[in-house]
Chain A
Amino acid sequence: MSVLYIALPAALLLGGAAVAAFVWAVRSGQLDELETPPFRAVFEDPPRPRE
């Protein structure tokens, strides 16, 4: 059972990494606006005229 001594800190570190990633996303403004980007994702590629 002594694996707990490794697994628990590892799990907490992973969790911490996820939080850090989220904090980075927030700080870089990715969550500032949530309404327009969904449209942008659909439209990003300019449509090519069919020959």
Chain B
Amino acid sequence: MPAEFSSAVLDAEPATVRPGEAVECAHCVLPVPPGLIAVERDRQFCCHGCEAAYELIHGTDLAGYYAICEQLDTHPPQAVELSDSCEEFDHPAFIERHVRMLPDGRCEVRLLVDGIHCAACVWLLEKLPRLLRGVVSARVDLARRVARVQWDADAVSLSTIARRLRSLGYAARPAGGDAESDGFHQANRRQLVQLAIAGACAGNAMLLAVAMYAGWFSGIADDHSRLLRLASAVLGTVSLLGPGATFYRGAWNALRTRTPHMDISLSLGLAAGGLMGLVNTWRGTGEIYFDSLCMLVFVLLTGRYMQFRQQRRAAERVAVLRGLVPCIASRINGEGRVERVPVEALVVGDLVEVRVGDALPADGTVVSGTTQLDESLLTGESAGVRVADGDSAPAGAINLTAPIRLRVVSTGHETQVGRLSALVEAASLSRTPLVELANRASGVFLIVVLVVAAGTLAAWWPTGVDQAVDHTIALLIVACPCALGLATPLTIAVASGQAARRGILIRSGDVFELLSRRGTIWLDKTGTLTTGDLSLRSFHGDRSVAPFVRTLEEGIAHPVARSLARTLGCLTARDGLSEPSPLPDEFQYFPGLGVAGRFGDMRIECGSRRWLESRGADMSAVELWLADSPAAATTIHVSRDGRVVATFLLGDAPRDEARDTVTALQQAGWRVGMLSGDQSDIARAVARDVGIEPSRVIAGVLPEEKLEVIRRTSETEQVVMVGDGVNDAAALAAADVGIAVQGGAEASLRAAKVYLTQPGLGSLTELLAGSDRAMHAIRRGLALSFAYNITAVTLAACGMVTPLLAAVLMPLSSLSVIALATMQRAFPHSSTMATNGSRP
């Protein structure tokens, strides 16, 4: 295979450039901007970064990377030019926190690498020792996007490694969560070992039982029978004392907290059966139950392990998603120089610089500079907030227009974001504990079985102690919570697995049960019902100016200008105006106001109404255009030679499928409401667009108020919250089911029980429909195991459960439950979903 990979690339013809044809970058396969095409060269690159990465990869004989990418139908991440020193990776505070010293003098760090998304990335990054001298090894965990890098601190610095990764297009940051991941591995290993022992005991005990049952029919020599029973007893004792101890511990905890739990009846059955079996082995007569007991232990442990894996898998994928506060800050030291430090090193009173496009590393007061901040993750407000000297600015907000300097006021947990996460944690803890369906059922079941068992013992007592004890133990064993205990977790595990393949990660077993009831769904607006980006909502006037406006706006870094340029690109292409206009002969940018340019003898100005009026433009056409425009949009006017000829309305557009989703939810019996931190008229306009009743729109609410709304609603009914931002996190945690949508902030993902990895709301309807189907499957499984148990208990109480019948009934019930659970299709397969469903 590897040979094929490499030859495919080396034999490839160099790309020849034909005029007017889109050219792909030889590294990242993105289109190459026309200005950068050099016809005389063999290969074209979209930027210097890609060219450097391409040369680096070829220079080290790793060209197979491109072939693997091609084979997997993916492409490398766009490489970036080296502007960062990555010096924060060498900071003592960083090293102390994230770097582990190995006994042999090497260093190890776990880096979260954003660009990792396919096997080709694994291949290339694990060749890091060949790309950089001093790196000893690099191990990539594809699912978690974590690279574990070991290096020789004398030969190379961590910042050099980070720079090299970045030059290949992989931005790295510390992964954190070492302890958490170690804890998971420990638990995983412990459970696997227990499963292995229980499985081996169960399998062998079953084989011995077959021999004994055969002997029961056709006769068997006494000493052989004794040997088989002895071997069974050994296996049974190992299984009951080793892996079986889990259940005794569970039962003990349940007894201490006085909650009925399946483990109590299980432990009772296991202990009684085990003791009786040992006594009977010793005596040489009577029933031994070791085959059933071993099987019971194994099957139940399997069910628990599946639950454990499923919860962990969802939690892991969430944990690797991007944090809100950056891990790096640019601190200005005593001499006025900027040094890059990890945020952990910041203290109150430090002066930090925040560049355009970066998130604020700490809460602070602006000391110099005036800019717009995007605080939408904190407040839900989609419009930028203007800050100037003396204003306070929260950590996590994104600096939009101009660099600023901040005096740090609070850091880490003390920041607004930090306090919000504390709120989230508190809300998750105070959530009313929901007893899982199986546990609730088994609590009742436990009492019934114990009563019947006592009755059986009393009823058979007159006919002989031996017989009475035999029948009672037969009852305890055959009244197998096995089917009951396995049906629900197995169905949930299978349904969750199917959901995960469809991009729906479910972290809590009770989600299906909760979602199958009806109540109120609160939807967040920004980023959930809407795309969260500004885009062109409507256009009035003369379309022929569009290419000129696009050229002007492309020159500006302001987010409004960017979205206008982007959407204009699509619009003009549709109208056959895709040819970009010539570059302006004169270009003038008025920050925060507008932009002016001269194309030959034509003057084009675009900007806000007030600014154009102040420049003396004729605005007479505008009133008519604005009369029927949607509320709540950013308006940009364009004047040509002093007369306004066009108006663009930009807004946060509802997602295409938002209306259908809302309708589908309403038809399914949910009450749908909107909860937004945004201004009320914007929220109402979106609500109207997607079909939410105005009476169910609550706008302009702070995170605390969102939480309050959820708490109030959940007093009377089932509440589902769908959201994405940190401002939703507390509400997500407090709702009966919190659903975080793709692109959300980490805090909201941690708080939510469900995470939708596919963009858009399509998964939401799928999740709700799937939950209904999963609940049907669970109920079917429960009904079956109840039917089995009632039959078996009745037979056992009447003393009719012979060893043979027990041997037939036990596996039959387990098998039928497993078959039912695995054959259900709560979330139908789809061929379009690839394995990299976790890709952001």
Bound pair (A, B): yes
Binding site for B on A (CB under 8 A): 1, 4-5, 8-9, 11-12, 15-16, 18-19, 22-23, 26-27, 29, 31-33, 35-36, 39-40, 42-43, 45-50
Complex contact A1–B221 (CB within 8 A): yes
Q: A23-B196, A43-B122 are in contact. Are A5 and B227 (CB under 8 A)?
A: yes
CB<8 Å pairs between A and B, sample of 28: A1-B224, A4-B224, A4-B227, A8-B227, A8-B231, A12-B204, A15-B203, A19-B196, A27-B193, A29-B189, A31-B189, A32-B189, A33-B141, A35-B141, A36-B122, A39-B119, A39-B122, A42-B2, A43-B122, A46-B2, A47-B2, A47-B3, A47-B64, A47-B67, A48-B3, A49-B10, A50-B3, A50-B10
Q: A23-B193, A26-B196, A27-B189 are in contact. Are A46 and B204 (CB under 8 A)?
A: no
* A38–B672 alpha-carbon span in the complex (Å): 45
Q: Identify which of residues 336-383 in chain B touch chain A, using a CB-to-CB cut-off of 8 Å.
A: none
Please name all residues of chain B whose beta carbon is closer than 8 Å to the beta carbon of A35 when the two chains form the complex.
141-143
Q: Which of B7, B10, B196, B228 has the most CB of A within 10 A?
A: B196
Partner among B7, B126, B188, B192 whose Cβ is within 8 Å of the Cβ of A50: B7
Complex contact B68–A36 (CB within 8 A): no
Q: A1-B221, A8-B227, A12-B204 are in contact. Are A43 and B143 (CB under 8 A)?
A: no
Partner among B5, B67, B126, B204 whose Cβ is within 8 Å of the Cβ of A40: B126
Q: Identify which of residues 63-80 in chain B touch chain A, using a CB-to-CB cut-off of 8 Å.
A: 63-64, 67-68
* A16–B1 alpha-carbon span in the complex (Å): 38
Complex contact A19–B142 (CB within 8 A): no
* Given contact pairs A12-B235, A36-B141, A48-B3, a sample of 16 additional A-B residue pairs in the complex whose CB atoms are under 8 Å apart: A1-B221, A12-B204, A12-B231, A22-B196, A32-B189, A39-B122, A42-B2, A42-B119, A43-B119, A46-B127, A47-B3, A47-B64, A48-B6, A49-B6, A50-B7, A50-B10
Give 10 closest A-B pairs by Cβ, nearest first: A47-B6, A47-B64, A47-B2, A39-B119, A36-B142, A35-B143, A43-B123, A19-B200, A26-B192, A22-B196
* A12–B208 alpha-carbon span in the complex (Å): 11
Please name all residues of chain B whose beta carbon is closer than 8 Å to the beta carbon of A16 when the two chains form the complex.
200
Closest B residue by C-beta to A27: B189
Please name all residues of chain B whose beta carbon is closer than 8 Å to the beta carbon of A31 when the two chains form the complex.
188-189, 192
- The interface bits of chain B over 196-228 (1 if a CB of A lies within 8 angstroms of the residue's CB, else 0) are 110010011000000000000000010010011
For B, the interface residue count at a CB cutoff of 8 angstroms equals: 39
* A49–B224 alpha-carbon span in the complex (Å): 66
Please name all residues of chain B whose beta carbon is closer than 8 Å to the beta carbon of A22 when the two chains form the complex.
196
Please name all residues of chain A whose beta carbon is closer than 8 Å to the beta carbon of B300 when the two chains form the complex.
none
B838 vs chain A, min Cβ distance (A): 10
Closest B residue by C-beta to A20: B196
* A35–B234 alpha-carbon span in the complex (Å): 37
Please name all residues of chain A whose beta carbon is closer than 8 Å to the beta carbon of B224 when the two chains form the complex.
1, 4
- The interface bits of chain B over 140-167 (1 if a CB of A lies within 8 angstroms of the residue's CB, else 0) are 1111000000000000000000000000
Q: Identify which of residues 5-22 in chain B touch chain A, using a CB-to-CB cut-off of 8 Å.
A: 5-7, 10
Closest B residue by C-beta to A19: B200
Closest A residue by C-beta to B140: A36
Please name all residues of chain A whose beta carbon is closer than 8 Å to the beta carbon of B185 when the two chains form the complex.
29, 32
Binding site for A on B (CB under 8 A): 1-3, 5-7, 10, 61-64, 67-68, 119, 122-123, 126-127, 140-143, 185, 188-189, 192-193, 196-197, 200, 203-204, 221, 224, 227-228, 231, 234-235
* A18–B203 alpha-carbon span in the complex (Å): 13
* A26–B189 alpha-carbon span in the complex (Å): 6
CB < 8 Å A-B pair total: 88
* A19–B202 alpha-carbon span in the complex (Å): 12
* A42–B746 alpha-carbon span in the complex (Å): 34
* A11–B141 alpha-carbon span in the complex (Å): 39
Chain B interface main SS type? helix
Please name all residues of chain A whose beta carbon is closer than 8 Å to the beta carbon of B5 when the two chains form the complex.
47
Please name all residues of chain A whose beta carbon is closer than 8 Å to the beta carbon of B188 when the two chains form the complex.
31-32
Chain A interface main SS type? helix
Partner among B61, B122, B204 whose Cβ is within 8 Å of the Cβ of A49: B61
Closest A residue by C-beta to B67: A47
Partner among A9, A27, A39, A42 whose Cβ is within 8 Å of the Cβ of B142: A39
Please name all residues of chain A whose beta carbon is closer than 8 Å to the beta carbon of B193 when the two chains form the complex.
23, 26-27
B188 vs chain A, min Cβ distance (A): 7
Q: A18-B200, A35-B142, A39-B122 are in contact. Are A46 and B227 (CB under 8 A)?
A: no
Closest A residue by C-beta to B4: A47
* A11–B189 alpha-carbon span in the complex (Å): 26
Complex contact A46–B61 (CB within 8 A): yes
* A26–B194 alpha-carbon span in the complex (Å): 11
Please name all residues of chain A whose beta carbon is closer than 8 Å to the beta carbon of B227 when the two chains form the complex.
4-5, 8
Complex contact B204–A15 (CB within 8 A): yes
A37 vs chain B, min Cβ distance (A): 10
* A30–B234 alpha-carbon span in the complex (Å): 29
Please name all residues of chain B whose beta carbon is closer than 8 Å to the beta carbon of A50 when the two chains form the complex.
3, 6-7, 10
Please name all residues of chain B whose beta carbon is closer than 8 Å to the beta carbon of A1 when the two chains form the complex.
221, 224
Closest A residue by C-beta to B142: A36
* A48–B67 alpha-carbon span in the complex (Å): 13
* A45–B123 alpha-carbon span in the complex (Å): 10
A40 vs chain B, min Cβ distance (A): 7
Q: A8-B227, A26-B196, A31-B189 are in contact. Are A36 and B2 (CB under 8 A)?
A: no
Please name all residues of chain B whose beta carbon is closer than 8 Å to the beta carbon of A45 when the two chains form the complex.
2
Please name all residues of chain A whose beta carbon is closer than 8 Å to the beta carbon of B7 when the two chains form the complex.
50
Q: A19-B197, A23-B193, A36-B141 are in contact. Are A43 and B6 (CB under 8 A)?
A: no
Please name all residues of chain B whose beta carbon is closer than 8 Å to the beta carbon of A23 when the two chains form the complex.
193, 196-197
* A16–B481 alpha-carbon span in the complex (Å): 29
B201 vs chain A, min Cβ distance (A): 9
Closest A residue by C-beta to B235: A12
B309 vs chain A, min Cβ distance (A): 10
Please name all residues of chain B whose beta carbon is closer than 8 Å to the beta carbon of A26 when the two chains form the complex.
189, 192-193, 196
* A42–B123 alpha-carbon span in the complex (Å): 10
Please name all residues of chain A whose beta carbon is closer than 8 Å to the beta carbon of B140 when the two chains form the complex.
36
Please name all residues of chain A whose beta carbon is closer than 8 Å to the beta carbon of B62 when the two chains form the complex.
46
A48 vs chain B, min Cβ distance (A): 7
A32 vs chain B, min Cβ distance (A): 5
* A9–B230 alpha-carbon span in the complex (Å): 11
* A4–B7 alpha-carbon span in the complex (Å): 60
B834 vs chain A, min Cβ distance (A): 14
* A19–B224 alpha-carbon span in the complex (Å): 26
A39 vs chain B, min Cβ distance (A): 4
* A12–B123 alpha-carbon span in the complex (Å): 43
B732 vs chain A, min Cβ distance (A): 28
